[in-house]
């Protein structure tokens, strides 16, 4: 858009340097605007991005001079775009002139723009239809556009919509129903084969509605008008919506559904208030209201509304509707026994539109009466009646022929349908058999896969069983071997201090008993026989009771011990108190065995979102990433050898895991910030499965 450079200060005339820079600035600004205006692509993009139709029109009008010297194609594109924008502003006569300019530029200068020429014909035909649909002059442009589009590629959508418009023209010009329907069917066939935009579909539905209205099948016309309105609404083409609302009023009036017609008049009024660009709406609202009153034989109301319609005639360029309003006002006065007023209206019509034939056929005998040709008026009236009867008979005849043809086509379609149905039945049976076969093969595949998985699981279980037996045997053989040696020493009187030897034997027996107890506890967990004594207790008090005992247990092994708590006061938990203490003891024992001295051990207790978080971490050394997940396996030790330098059964962490899982929680390990291992426990504070363990 051109930029307006406005200054509210004066430039010192005595300073030529300042004057020079100001002139240079103005030159660059003007040059920039001209460059923008000279690009049609930039102008078109600017128009597309603008939502206000009046601003669009003003922008295009300002750019007109620039495109007078542009290349032929850009000149034609500019005038076509201007014509479209004038349509949006309901300036239909101006739109006709602009489209004519585009057509003249193409026809006089280039024969290589058939696509643009066809588009310009279509734009002009739409505007001519809005100004004077009864003269059918718009049909000439439609026919030219169809010929051009039929020879172009990638124009199927535009061809379909233009063919649908041509079908209406054929009926209007020739009254040939079969030919009109054939062209419409061709348009619909093209539309079905191609995914048309909502706007293009709306055009086809509208033309279909027009055909049905001409055939006096008003309910079908109404239905297609309604579909067309919804499609234009989806496309946000408010010009199309506005036009369809008026057509819906006409269709509802034709069906004698007067309440429905009034609803659409009210809808049109609301729509016009929401869209100020339709400045001619007062004319059409009053016109359709007058026609509705006339259809209900409310002559006086119709007179008042037609008179009000003509008060707004300057708002529209559609001369056909203006003339129709004059003619119907004259007829209403005559029906209301006011011939003088009727003839006065006709005189006004003749003055404003001299030499044009009447739109309403009933007006012709009325003009004859006005001119004193009473007998001629009667004869013309009889002729109109005869023509009406003849048209009715011709319509019935053609409709019967059309119905017979449709019947024959339906019979052929029925035969084809029966063949298709049989084919479909066979296809369905074949698909069903193939589906069952595939299902059977799938079941067999899943069955083999399941058997293989079970076989592998059984093999793995047997391997683990053998490994556990080997490990248990190893764990038992070492203390038993020591016992045997010490007993033989006693038997042979080789021990100097018998009392010390008996104490060592007692300790070894305790180790064996502890190992057996651990194995028994894990076995109970495996078969689901592990019993928990769940009872409520206050956690802070319990930790206070355990703190001194646990601290001494760790400190005597040359390790510092610390307990950190972030627990709410009076926290009642439902857990097995002794099992929780056993878990702490096992984890602390593990830390004592594998933490370098001197070192430190830390126990942390938190409560977060109904989860009890417990962790025990120690200082170096740590373990590898693989060991973080393996240390909870039974009889697993981080060391490569199976030596018992560190002591213990190797089942402590596995027992912790089984006890935590029995409480509905989980346990896992990670590296500690202290440099060693951190074991983390998460136990739900309100576990629903605790109840049956009481």
Which tokens belong to 103?
A: 């057509």
Q: How far apart are CA 444 and CA 451, in angstroms?
A: 10
Asked if residues 156 and 118 have their Cβ atoms less than 8 Å apart, the reply is no
User: Strand 572-575 relative to strand 666-671: parallel, antiparallel, unpaired?
Assistant: unpaired
Q: What is the pLDDT of residue 111?
A: 61
Q: What is the pLDDT of residue 690?
A: 39
Which tokens belong to 347?
A: 């005189």
Q: What is the pLDDT of residue 287?
A: 94
Q: How far apart are CA 227 and CA 449, in angstroms?
A: 56
Residues 396-416: tens digit of each pLDDT = 555 555 545 544 554 455 456
Asked if residues 206 and 225 have their Cβ atoms less than 8 Å apart, the reply is yes
Which tokens belong to 161?
A: 């919509």
Reduced to 3 states (helix: H, G, I; strand: E, B; else coil), residue 608 is: strand
Closest CA to 534 of 576, 567, 570: 576
Q: How far apart are CA 676 and CA 370, in angstroms?
A: 117
Closest CA to 482 of 463, 504, 464: 504
Q: Measured at the alpha carbon of residue 543, what is the angle toward residues 537 and 548, in degrees to the nearest 5?
A: 140
Q: How far apart are CA 173 and CA 183, in angstroms?
A: 14
The domain segmentation of the chain, as residue ranges, is 39-130+140-150, 406-529, 535-693
Q: What is the pLDDT of residue 487?
A: 72
Closest CA to 495 of 505, 480, 481: 505
Q: What is the pLDDT of residue 478?
A: 59
Q: How far apart are CA 356 and CA 4, in angstroms?
A: 48
Asked if residues 601 and 675 have their Cβ atoms less than 8 Å apart, the reply is no
Could you give the C-alpha distances from 518 to 380, 512, 554, in angstroms and in order? 120, 10, 22
Q: Would you list the DSSP string of 209-242? A: HHHHHHTT-HHHHHHHHHHHHHHHHHTT-HHHHH
Low-confidence ranges of the chain (pLDDT < 50): 1-14, 22-38, 403, 406-407, 410-411, 414, 640-645, 687-694
Could you give the C-alpha distances from 58 to 54, 64, 82, 164, 323, in angstroms and in order? 6, 10, 10, 33, 31
Q: How far apart are CA 294 and CA 325, in angstroms?
A: 12
- Select 535-693's CATH number: 3.30.565.10, 3.30.460.10, 3.40.190.10, 1.10.490.10: 3.30.565.10
DSSP secondary-structure letter at 38? Answer: H
Q: What is the pLDDT of residue 62?
A: 87
Q: What is the pLDDT of residue 310?
A: 93
Q: How far apart are CA 580 and CA 667, in angstroms?
A: 13
As a whole number of Å, the end-to-end CA separation of the chain is 84
Q: Would you list the DSSP string of 556-569? A: TTTEEEEEEEE--T
Q: How far apart are CA 316 and CA 129, in angstroms?
A: 13
- Select 39-130+140-150's CATH number: 1.20.1090.10, 1.25.40.10, 1.10.10.10, 1.20.120.140: 1.25.40.10
DSSP secondary-structure letter at 296? Answer: T
| DSSP H or E stretch at residue 414 | helix 374-491
Contacts of 251-260 with C-beta under 8 Å, sequence gap 24+, read 251/209, 251/213, 251/218, 251/221, 251/222, 251/225, 252/222, 253/288, 253/291, 253/292, 253/295, 254/213, 254/218, 254/221, 254/222, 255/218, 255/219, 255/222, 256/295, 258/292, 258/295, 258/296
Full-model pTM: 0.46
Which tokens belong to 399?
A: 């409709």
């Amino acid at each position: 858009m051109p930029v307006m450079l406005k200054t509210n200060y004066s430039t010192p005339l005595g300073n030529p340097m300042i004057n020079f820079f100001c002139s240079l600035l103005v030159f660059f600004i003007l040059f920039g605007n001209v460059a923008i205006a000279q690009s049609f692509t930039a102008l078109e993009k600017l128009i597309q991005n603008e939502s206000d139709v009046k601003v669009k029109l003003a922008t295009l009008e300002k750019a007109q001079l620039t495109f007078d010297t542009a290349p032929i194609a850009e000149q034609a594109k500019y005038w076509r775009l201007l014509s479209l924008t004038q349509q949006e502003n309901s300036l239909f006569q101006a739109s006709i002139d602009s489209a004519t300019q585009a057509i003249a530029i193409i026809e006089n200068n280039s024969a290589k723009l058939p696509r643009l020429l066809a588009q310009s014909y279509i734009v002009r035909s739409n505007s001519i239809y809005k100004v004077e649909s009864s003269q059918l002059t718009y049909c000439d442009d439609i026919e030219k556009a169809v010929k051009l589009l039929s020879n172009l590629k990638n124009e199927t959508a535009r061809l379909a919509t233009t063919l649908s418009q041509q079908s209406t023209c054929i009926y209007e010009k020739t009254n040939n129903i079969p030919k009109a329907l054939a062209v419409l069917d061709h348009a619909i066939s093209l539309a079905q084969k191609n995914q048309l935009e909502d706007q293009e579909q709306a055009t086809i539905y509208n033309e279909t509605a027009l055909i049905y209205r001409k055939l006096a099948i008003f309910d079908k016309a109404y239905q297609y008008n309604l579909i067309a309105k919804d499609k234009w609404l989806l496309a946000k083409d408010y010009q199309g919506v506005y036009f369809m609302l008026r057509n819906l009023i006409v269709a509802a009036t034709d069906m004698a559904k007067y309440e429905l017609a009034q609803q659409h008049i009210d809808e049109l009024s609301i729509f016009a208030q929401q869209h100020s660009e339709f400045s001619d709406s007062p004319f059409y609202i009053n016109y359709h209201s007058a026609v509705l009153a006339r259809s209900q034989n409310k002559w006086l109301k119709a007179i008042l509304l037609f008179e009000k319609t003509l008060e707004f005639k300057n708002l529209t360029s559609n001369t056909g509707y203006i003339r129709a309003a004059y003619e119907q006002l004259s007829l209403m006065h005559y029906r209301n026994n006011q011939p003088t007023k009727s003839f006065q209206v006709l005189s006004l019509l003749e003055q404003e539109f001299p030499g044009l034939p009447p739109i309403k056929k009933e007006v012709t005998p009325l003009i004859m009466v006005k001119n004193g040709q009473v007998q001629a008026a009667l004869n013309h009236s009889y002729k109109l009646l005869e023509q009406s009867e003849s048209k009715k008979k011709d319509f019935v005849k053609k409709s019967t022929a059309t119905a017979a043809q449709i019947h024959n086509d339906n019979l052929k379609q029925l035969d084809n349908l029966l063949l298709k149905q049989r084919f479909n039945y066979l296809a369905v049976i074949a698909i069903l058999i193939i589906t069952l076969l595939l299902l059977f093969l799938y079941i067999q595949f899943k069955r083999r896969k399941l058997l293989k998985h079970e076989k592998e699981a059984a093999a793995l279980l047997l391997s683990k069983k053998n490994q556990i037996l080997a490990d248990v045997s190893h764990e038992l053989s070492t203390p038993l071997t020591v016992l045997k040696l010490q007993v033989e020493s006693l038997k042979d009187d080789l021990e100097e201090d018998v009392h010390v030897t008996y104490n060592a034997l007692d300790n070894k027996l305790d180790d064996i008993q502890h190992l057996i107890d651990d194995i028994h506890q894990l076995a109970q967990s495996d078969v689901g026989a592990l019993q928990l004594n769940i009872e409520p207790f206050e956690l802070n008090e319990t930790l206070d009771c355990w703190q001194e005992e646990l601290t001494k247990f760790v400190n005597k092994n040359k390790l510092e011990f610390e307990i950190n708590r972030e627990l709410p006061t009076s926290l009642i938990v439902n857990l097995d108190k002794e099992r929780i203490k056993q878990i702490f003891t096992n984890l602390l024992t593990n830390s004592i065995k594998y933490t370098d001295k001197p070192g430190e051990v830390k126990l942390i207790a938190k409560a977060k979102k109904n989860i009890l978080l417990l962790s025990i971490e120690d200082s170096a050394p740590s373990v590898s990433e693989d060991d973080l997940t393996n240390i909870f396996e039974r009889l697993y030790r981080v060391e490569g050898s199976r030596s018992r330098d560190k002591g213990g059964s190797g089942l402590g962490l596995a027992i912790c895991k089984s006890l935590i899982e029995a409480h509905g929680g989980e346990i896992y390990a990670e590296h500690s910030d202290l440099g060693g291992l951190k074991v983390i426990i998460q136990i739900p504070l309100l576990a629903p499965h605790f109840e049956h363990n009481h």
